[in-house]
Amino acid sequence: SSCEQLKIAEVRATELTAKHGSPLYVIDEGAARERAREVREALQREARRIGTEATVYYAGKAFLCVEVARWMDEEGLAVDVASGGELAVALAAGVDPACIGFHGNNKSEREIARAVEAGVGTIIIDSEIETERIASAARAAGRRQRVRLRVNSGVHASTHDFLATSHEDQKFGQPLDEAPRLVEAILAHESLEFVGLHCHIGSQIFATDGFRESARRLLGAYPELQRIAGAPIPELNLGGGFGIAYTSAQADEAPAVADIARELADIVAESAREFGVAVPKLAFEPGRSIIGQAGVTLYTVGTTKSVALAGSDAAADPDDLGRAARLYVSVDGGMSDNARPALYGADYQVRIANRASDAEPALVRVVGKHCESGDIVVQRDLLPGDVRPGDTLAVAATGAYCWSLASNYNYVPRPPVVAVRDGASRVIVRGETEDELLAKSVIPTPAP
């Protein structure tokens, strides 16, 4: 197979690494904006079809910086933040505080006070204890704070255990059957305005049945909540979690957002009828499905080494395609810039980005430079067998949860993030230097 020189938004990968260094996170601004618009429009169109409206929050935890918050704002999305730090970024980007949703299962009192004082549109209450904290912060600030109650609907989303969030035995939200009591407690506070339930069943979900079942269960609670409130419950937030394809093998499995939107709107309309309540306004919080595929990470190959598989346990693995050997390709980053393979066994795809090659494809594993064997960037893929030191590799779909989960393991500085658009690149998040990392160490002053 022959690989052309890779271009991202009309900029050559090699030009990007020459200018900004390696490894490098690259975001295609046009792709991110287009996708944000597409997801927002699909969800809003379907909401209108069932006679309501929808707010689409971009889940900043996937990847947030001032520039990206600004793009999302310009594309008509609200922003969901999960910490005081993310809140500060959204505010610095000029996002209207009323368009910010604030999440977290353990927001500090200081974070709550900051959010209330900034005029954050909605705070999601994760626990009973938080109700009191938010109510008193709102009282102190002389505001009436809009709040949602996060519940877990008991739906077991089929995804990695660490990414499922609405089964019973996990830390987020309150069980749905406790909602009446908790809503009553919320309504007892003059300083709180209860706008509805929130549920996020998990992340990187391909099967839509979990989303549908969860939405139906939530609406099933609305008649009783309506009785308690003495008025219809105006909103329902169904969270995010729409899965994306990381590899071409997943391309057919990943649901189209237009389909998810239609199925969710249908079930909301049906369930509202079934339970005899008005169709509430909807809210969604997609992160990965907006920014994931807009990102690419570029690396430089440092070493390669071939390991015989014959006779080893791997020889029996059908995924290894009956190959006799695996080529380990070491790059200049690794689990410090992409923790997902180590954390979730996530799959990625790789290609050579700096040259064409007609060499016979070899079974490769792209690994990082860190001190553990779980430091894998790409578990398994084929690359031209002449892949060699100095080559630039591109790993696709690294826009979500890569920079945001990055670490300085082994004192490796975080790479910069550049945005590319119309043939030009610019840094949107600065990279770190070894000096900056060294400067964190307190150097003891010698005793006199």
Choosing from 148, 189, 200, 380, the residue that interacts with ligand LLP (CB under 6 A) is: 200
Show the binding pattern over residues 90-129: x = contacts ligand LLP (CB under 6 A), - = does not: -------------x--------------------------
- Residue 335 vs 383, nearer CB to ligand LLP: 335
Maximum CA pair distance of the chain?
80
Give the separation between CA 197 and CA 211, rounded to whole angstroms.
Answer: 14
Q: How far apart are CA 257 and CA 259, in angstroms?
A: 5
Q: Compute the distance between CA of residue 63 and CA of residue 57 in angstroms, rounded to an integer.
A: 13
97 in a labelled binding site: no
Phi first, then psi, for residue 443 (nearest 5°) are -90, 115
Q: In this structure, are residues 168 and 208 in contact, taking their beta carbons and an 8 Å threshold?
A: no
Instruction: Give residues 127-166 in contact with ligand LLP (rule: CB under 6 A).
Output: 163, 165
**Do the Cβ atoms of 197 and 236 come closer than 8 Å?**
yes
Query: Rounded to the nearest 10 degrees, what angle do helices 29-49 and 66-74 cross at?
Result: 40
CB of 286 to ligand LLP, least distance (A): 4
Q: How far apart are CB 215 and ligand LLP at their closest, in Å?
A: 15
* 35 is an interface residue for ligand LLP by CB under 6 A: no
- Tell me the closest approach of the beta carbon of residue 424 to ligand LLP, in angstroms: 28
d(CA 95, CA 81): 12
Tell me the C-alpha distance between 155 and 288, whole Å: 21
Stretch that binds ligand LLP, among 87-95, 199-207, 354-362, 429-437 (CB under 6 A): 199-207
Nearer Cβ to ligand LLP (28/86): 86
Show the tokens assigned to 111: 């974070």
In whole angstroms, the minimum distance from the beta carbon of 292 to ligand LLP comes to: 8
**Long-range CB contacts (within 8 A, 24+) of 161-169:** 162/343, 162/344, 163/202, 163/203, 163/204, 163/344, 164/201, 164/202, 165/200, 165/201, 165/202, 165/203, 166/199, 166/200, 166/201, 166/202, 166/214
Helix (H) or strand (E) holding 102: strand 100-102
Report whether 344 belongs to an annotated binding site: yes
The encoded tokens of residue 90 equal: 């959204």
Amino acid at position 207, single letter: A
CB of 360 to ligand LLP, least distance (A): 34
Nearer to ligand LLP, 103 or 351 (CB): 103
Using CB under 6 A, pick the residue from 22, 52, 166, 203 that binds ligand LLP: 203
**Which one-letter DSSP state was computed for residue 188?**
T
Is 241 annotated to bind a ligand? Reply is yes
Residue 243 marked as a ligand binder: no
Cβ proximity to ligand LLP: between 200 and 217 the closer is 200
65 labelled catalytic: no
Q: Which amino acid is at 420?
A: V
Q: By CB under 6 A, name the one of 23, 196, 239, 416 that touches ligand LLP.
A: 239
Q: Tell me if 328 is assigned to a ligand binding site.
A: no
What are the beta bridge partners of residue 396? 296
- Which residue stretch of 56-64, 105-113, 219-227, 318-326 sits at the interface with ligand LLP (rule: CB under 6 A)? 56-64
Q: Quote the least distance from Cβ 62 to ligand LLP, whole Å.
A: 5
- Residues 111, 104 contacting (CB under 8 angstroms): yes
CB of 442 to ligand LLP, least distance (A): 32
Instruction: Record the tokens describing residue 231, joined without a space.
Output: 């008025």
Cβ atoms of 341 and 398 closer than 8 Å = no
Number of residues that bind ligand LLP (CB under 6 A): 23
Which residue stretch of 15-23, 54-62, 317-325, 409-417 sits at the interface with ligand LLP (rule: CB under 6 A)? Answer: 54-62
Task: List the structure tokens of 323.
Answer: 């190959």
Site track 262-301 with ligand LLP (rule: CB under 6 A), x = hit: -----------------------xxxxx------------
340 or 380, CB closer to ligand LLP? 340
- Residue ranges at the known binding site for substrate: 288, 340, 344, 372, 401
Catalytic residues: 371
- Which residues of this chain interact with ligand LLP, rule CB under 6 A? 59, 61-62, 80, 103, 163, 165, 200, 203-204, 239-242, 285-289, 340, 344, 401, 405
- Residue ranges at the known binding site: 241, 285-288, 340, 344, 372, 401
- Residue ranges at the known binding site for pyridoxal 5'-phosphate: 241, 285-288, 401
